Chain A
Amino acid sequence: MLKSIDEAVGKQGEPGAGPHSSKQVRIMPFQIRHRQQVYELYGKIFSERSRVGFEARWEWGRENDLFFDGGAKWVLVDNDRVVGFLNTVPLAYRIGGTTLTAHTPADYMVDPEYRFYGLQLMHQFFRTCANCVSADDVPSTIKVTEWLGAKRAGRLVGYVKVLDGRALRQHERLNRVPLLAQWLLTGALGLRDTVRLAGRNALHVEPLREFDRRLEKFFLRISQRAPAMPVRDLRFLQWRYGPTSPHPTREIAVVTDGGGNLLGYVVFHLSVETHRGLILDLLALPEAGVEVPISLMRYAVKRLRAEGAWTVRYFASPGAMPVPDLRRLGFIRRGDFVLSVKFADPGIQTIATRPGAWNYSFGDSEASHAFI
């Protein structure tokens, strides 16, 4: 995911400063000698605190390169000073029966004094990467992406569920609600969920320590229904959610049939620092019935509450879970992600932009790495 174009260029770029009358800005492939300057740029634009997480994720990406291609990376330099950066994340996709690699833009950042030049990075991305998949929630970024040729292919519908009144502290306008009111709200929310999440017909949900071969069979069945989706084989899942992934504390749970075959699974994660729970993946076989995703969601919410989550975020693929049931479980709409794609092959592009073609989870995107 790209950060907001505005956010990623920082806010301190005051018009009129004009300190760069002799800019020598050019774009070039990232080289290892730029790494420290990219870290420093991240710290300058976002925060020194978040820089630690960025560096850790960078190291993880280097040591766990799923495609062994390093991904394309570019820097904007003024003379020899790094003033902008764009990373890409390659992933395998299966579209219309063809397996191919597509790249997702990531870690976009531009020094606030060089705000105009950021477009060069995005233009370079679309010019270089034959196949592009982008999931973003910032309208301005989506607008730039589409102007550069990507087409909307789907939407991850955003939902949030409040579990604890202390979540109000994180709200821009409600953060001064008295402590007593926060406690009362927490009690009311808990009582409500005791009723809502009880689920008389709830299926047995089983925690899973690691992904196993059953997942591959499950995804094979999913892919027979979805013309476009990431290749979620065991290798990908281990990379994405395994013990060495950016989400090492994630939990996995599954629902199976009588024969041990998977009917659905959920992956969720709690950010201990922010008390925010996140449903990274929730998928179920359509023929298994709506009780499968509902049971998985109930389980995830209960676990996240027990672990100390104040809120739970979920980005639903179309058809992943019935909207009325999400509302019944206490989820409210809040902020969508738009999936935009650009494939070099016109036939692939046609399939990939058909309504309802995609089976795509929030966890498939680089986006979720930002929630560590």
Chain B
Amino acid sequence: MHSSSDGPRRPTSSERTSRSPRTEVIAVIHACITTQLAKGSGHEVAADTPLIQNGYLTSLEAVELVMFLGEKFGIEIDPEEVNEHNFRSISSIATLVERKLEAE
């Protein structure tokens, strides 16, 4: 996961994937989770793998993921939205991201 010092730069409007199809949103979240959050666990993380139930996502990692998604998609996720329902799986996070993008 990106730290505050080497975090991703804010994308320009043309670079933002705000109009990307769901598969692309899922791919971005999947890449973030598998390369950073579940790194070294040796477990396959599919779109519907339960992230919280399987212990892949701590609260800190959820915050880091939220920050990453904010930078990547130009969206803002409130603390209230970091809950078991929205972060249950990659698929449910993608649904949250899509909902945010549509609300823009």
Residues of A within 8 A of B (CB): 5-6, 9, 13-18, 20-21, 23, 25, 110, 112-113, 115-120, 122-123, 126, 139-141, 143-144, 147-148
Contact = CB atoms under 8 A, between A and B. Distances in A.
Nearest to A113: B55
Nearest to A138: B60
B interface residue count range (under 10 / 10 to 19 / 20 to 34 / 35 or more): 20 to 34
B59 A119 contact: yes
Interface string B2-40: 011000000000000000000000000000000000100
Contacts of A141: 60
Nearest to B41: A15
B87 A116 contact: yes
B46 interface: no
B89 to A, nearest CB: 12
Contacts of A6: 58, 60
B99 interface: no
B25 to A, nearest CB: 21
Interface string B64-77: 10110000000000
Given A123-B79, A143-B4, A147-B66, A16 B41 contact: yes
* Majority secondary structure, A binding face: helix
Contacts of A23: 53, 84
B94 interface: no
Interface of B: 3-4, 38, 41, 43, 50-60, 62-64, 66-67, 79-80, 82, 84, 87
B82 A15 contact: no
Given A6-B60, A119-B63, A144-B60, A18 B55 contact: yes
Given A116-B52, A139-B3, A147 B41 contact: no
Nearest to A145: B63
B43 to A, nearest CB: 6
Contacts of A120: 59
A118 B56 CA distance: 14
Nearest to A13: B55
Contacts of A112: 55
Contact of B54 (A17, A123, A139): A17
A147 B55 contact: no
Nearest to B57: A116
B59 A16 contact: no
Contacts of B54: 15-18
B43 A119 contact: no
A221 B70 CA distance: 46
13 contacts: A15-B38, A15-B41, A15-B56, A16-B43, A18-B53, A20-B53, A21-B53, A23-B53, A23-B84, A115-B55, A126-B79, A144-B63, A147-B67
B20 to A, nearest CB: 25
B55 A117 contact: no
Contacts of A5: 58-60
Nearest to A117: B59
Nearest to B70: A147
Contacts of B43: 15-16
Contacts of B57: 115-116
Contacts of B38: 15
Given A16-B54, A18-B54, A143-B64, A116 B4 contact: no
